[in-house]
Amino acid sequence: MRLLALFALLAAAAGAQFEDISGAKIRAHTRFLSTDLMEGRGVGTRGDQLATEYLATQFELAGAKPAGDNGTYYQRVPLTGVTTEPGVTLGASGKGAPMSFRWSDEFIGVSQRQNALDEFDAEAVFVGHGITAPEYQWDDFKNADVRGKVVVLFTNEPQSDDPKLFGGRALTYYGRWTFKYEEALRKGAVAALIIHTTPTAGYGWEVVRNSWGHENPQVKLEAGQAALAFAGWLTTEAGERLLKASGHSVAELVKAADARDFRPIPLGLRIRGRIPSKVRQIVTRNVAAMVPGSDPALASEAVIFSAHWDHLGIGTPVNGDSNYNGAVDNATGCAILLEVARAWASLGQKPKRSALFLAVTAEEGGLRGSEYYAQHPLVAPGKTVVGLNFDAFFPLGRTRDIVVAGAERTTFYPMVEDAARRFQFEIKPDPRPEQGSYYRSDHFSFAKAGIPSFSIHLGSDYLSKPQGTGAEIFAGFNAKHYHQPSDEFHEDWDFSGLEQIARFSMLVGKTAANIDRLPTWNAGDEFLAAREKSGVR
């Protein structure tokens, strides 16, 4: 107990300059944003309006100025909402008896063509992991012509003992499902079906079903722009049935896909789909507020603090509950964002550069809100110091460690390390690099624009719990509550850890806002070229 008390005193001393930050306020924001009244904060719904109005009001009360369109707190984000309608069918035929798959139970997905009805009937080709990566001398397509065909593949990346291949254990963007569909389209496929397995995806079928069983927000297509007639998933069992009809199995092809000499396999099947869709135009909003910097020469530059406000809305009932509240994911991150904004605005002496507080929309639909911001920035990427993102926190008390995966890829990392030392935090590596966390949250959109960006997370070594408990907590949440209606607020949650993260983030952000020279990405990093293009070297 004495050791814990000493640790608390040291950490409190490190954060004393930000004593205005309140865990109680973070708690209150989290509770309100995850109440049933918010209807799961679905994009383009009444929950969208309620959540964004609440965020804008809180920014205004904090004293942060509007930074959105036309002097408002809102940046308009136009999207097209596509919902797969009842009557959707997917089947296959070959040498044996035709087969069909059951919606939701065996397959899920959406048309990306934004039509009321899309139909296809095409040859199926298995393309491994669907990756073309010249820098790794990897090509799953081997010049095979898949134009007008249905590609069948696995998510994730080839498994290898070579630490130089696809980042070793850490998943790169090549392993993300978003890349799979993008590459299938580039190769001219009419549709793409990912066979889900929990090991290759990193989560169970329930997560896929709940994430894809809702309206899918998409960037509006330009006239004549190509898109997939169906971007879909099959369960392991459905994939097994499909592959068996072609004389193969899931296990066999997972193994085959891990070989560099893999070549596409025509499956001898035709896959047909009829995809009716409800299509509507959505105007949703990023919420943006700014606290101007104190140095007239540097106030046009800014540090970004971000969090996504959306979740999955009202969806498929689970145990009678259809409200996907999103308390951990991501009412907690928004609550930290609001409290950091309030504390920053209350500083007597403001940092030299400005702070932009950005609550983005449609993260759950593929980082759409942050992607839109990156394409229509309120502060140019070349004038943005760093991006600090908050996404999904377990309010279960303080930890001895934090995770800032991606920060080590930037020249700003020594300052992050110094802040961690001041808070007595041990920086731990990403505990689940194989899940590609860096490419799954909004900082990725900023990084693609060249901005040194990363998410700040609590670690798993809780002060008040036995060692190893944190990993068990994450595993339990991922299996039972992630993207489920049961991601709800709990009255017995302990927000002291989130308070400490807010204090730490304030110190990191203030350091960035007062830094002499804008940071960049380390030599050889995939985002360095974009940073240099923005004018920062």
- Over residues 46-104, the pLDDT tens digits come to 999 999 999 999 999 999 999 999 999 999 999 999 999 999 999 999 988 899 999 99
H helices of 15-45, in order, are 23-33
- pLDDT over 70 at 223, yes or no: yes
Lowest mean pLDDT of 273-277, 426-430, 476-480, 495-499, name the range.
Answer: 476-480
What is the Cα gyration radius of the chain? 23
Which pLDDT band, with edges at 50, 70 and 90, does 214 fall under? confident
Degrees to nearest 5, angle at CA 108 with 103 and 112: 125
Give the containing element (helix H, strand E) for 154: strand 150-154
CATH for 82-279, options being 3.30.230.70, 3.50.30.30, 2.40.37.10, 3.10.129.10: 3.50.30.30
Mean pLDDT of 314-342: 96
What is the Cα–Cα distance from 116 to 182, expressed in whole angstroms?
A: 22
Note whether 323 and 314 are within 8 A (CB): yes
What is the Cα–Cα distance from 319 to 485, expressed in whole angstroms?
A: 9
pLDDT score for 459: 93
- pLDDT over 80 at 24, yes or no: yes
| Residue pLDDT, tens place only, 93-143 | 998 889 999 999 999 999 999 999 999 999 999 999 999 999 999 999 999
CA 335 distance to own-chain centroid: 17
pLDDT score for 15: 45
Whether 2-63+292-533 and 82-279 share one fold: the answer is no
Residue tagged 């240099």 (tokens)? 532
Two tokens at 165?
């291949």
pTM, two decimals, is 0.90
Which pLDDT band, with edges at 50, 70 and 90, does 411 fall under? very high
Residue type, 232: G
- pLDDT over 90 at 159, yes or no: no
Give the chain's mean pLDDT: 93
Two tokens at 241?
């049935």
* Percentage of the chain exceeding pLDDT 70: 96
pLDDT score for 19: 56
The per-residue b/e assignment along 28-59, b for 16 or more CB within 10 angstroms, e otherwise, is ebbbbbbbeebbbbbbbbebbebbbebbbebb
List the chain domain ranges: 2-63+292-533, 82-279
What is the Cα–Cα distance from 156 to 166, expressed in whole angstroms?
A: 10
Long-range contacts of 369-373 (CB under 8 A, 24+ apart): 369/77, 369/284, 369/286, 369/308, 369/310, 369/442, 370/306, 370/308, 370/442, 370/443, 370/444, 370/445, 370/446, 371/219, 371/445, 372/75, 372/77, 372/219, 372/286, 373/75, 373/286, 373/445, 373/446
According to CATH, what is the number of the domain 2-63+292-533?
3.40.630.10
Helix, strand or coil for residue 195? Answer: strand
Mean pLDDT of 163-185: 88
